Amino acid sequence: MEMNVVYQDSSPLDALWTLYQQQSEQVRRAFLIRARQADKELDMPGLLTRDEMVKVSLERMRDIVDGREQTLVHNDVMSMIDEAITAAV
């Protein structure tokens, strides 16, 4: 009997993501709640809810309109995004 085995290079992150995707919606929601709580406990506010992101965006727009903040140059923003993507990979 012949058996073919395919090995793929995957990171622990890839493995965890695959496992996460296979869970029920209830389990994924519970996981996100725990991750957000752990994020706050570590004082690393990286996971924002949609409502939190909207609130921050509205505050930023008000600051720009009222002259307290200035907008960013498009090319500078694109460079920051490219750097963030590169750092994440």
Q: How confident is the model at residue 89, as a pLDDT?
A: 67
pTM here is: 0.38
pLDDT tens string, the chain, 89 residues long: the values are 676 656 667 788 888 889 999 999 999 999 988 888 877 766 655 667 788 889 999 999 999 999 998 888 999 999 998 888 888 76
Q: How confident is the model at residue 58, as a pLDDT?
A: 94
Q: Do 47 and 36 touch, CB atoms closer than 8 A? A: yes
Two tokens, residue 30: 């519970």
Q: How confident is the model at residue 22, as a pLDDT?
A: 94
Q: How confident is the model at residue 1, as a pLDDT?
A: 62
Phi, psi of 58 (to 5 degrees): -65, -40
Q: How confident is the model at residue 33, as a pLDDT?
A: 86
